[in-house]
Amino acid sequence: MPYRPPAQHAITPQGRGRFPGFDVLDQVHVWDDVTAGVVLARLALPNMLSFFTAHEVGIAAPMLDLLLAQDAEPRVPVLALIDSRLATAETDGWHYDDLPEDGQAWRETLKHLDDDARARHGAGYAELDVADQARLLQDVQDLADRHDSWHQMSAKHVWSLWTRYAIAAFYSHPWAWNEIGFSGPAYPRGYLNPGINTREKWEVPDHDETDPVPFARRVERARKADDDLSGGDPDE
């Protein structure tokens, strides 16, 4: 069994979980050793990045924070998880025909995002305030929604690249599992109480009765209806 220090606990990112008192690492002892080793390794990522340059980190870090609404500590180390994947060419096994291989696609799209910042604001993406960073990122999503191109690439495919890696990294980490009350791999323990609103003895009830889905839909409708969000035509 991989070693887990007694004081090591999973942290809920930014303290925004809906399952107070739940700690996914309490379940490590029921996971098989290989799985436990893989999961615990995600808590001890190296401090030095291997793939992204320092300049690229300045662009990617705030961009990923915006994509995942990670605006305070503690954060899931999404950038480090993506860096680890790209450094070892651990891709999804495919890429869009109109984009380079994923590693190169990340480098090129981060450069384009930085170019947009310099063209619009006269400063690099890392130097902008959060509102301006968000506006530039939103422009890419808006182009993706319209199936338009961005720097001669499919904006939809660029948006897919960014969000696919960001979401996979975030939800691979046990801190994110804490946030959603997921108790980790079912093998070999299994589940005994399947069904709607049923819980296993190790699970914790949701302490927030508000369904987040309708709120998210309202936000998305507002985003699409906000024709004036950019304060003008981004192409002017």
Predicted local distance difference test score (pLDDT) of residue 234? 44
Give me the mean pLDDT over the 129-147 stretch: 96
Q: Which of 23-37, 43-57, 178-192 has the lowest mean pLDDT?
A: 178-192
DSSP for residue 208: -
Predicted local distance difference test score (pLDDT) of residue 174? 93
Confidence band, pLDDT 50/70/90 cuts, at residue 20? confident
Residue 206 has pLDDT above 50, yes or no: yes
Strands (E), 112-161: 149-150, 153-154
Predicted local distance difference test score (pLDDT) of residue 236? 40
Domain spans in the chain, listed from the N-terminal domain onward: 7-206
Residues 6+ apart with CB under 8 A from 192: 200
Predicted local distance difference test score (pLDDT) of residue 7? 60
Distances (CA, A) of 64 to 46, 69, 71, 75: 19, 8, 10, 11
Residue 96's nearest CA partner among 39, 155, 46, 138 is 155
Mean pLDDT of all residues belonging to the chain: 88
Does the predicted TM-score (pTM) go above 0.95?
Answer: no
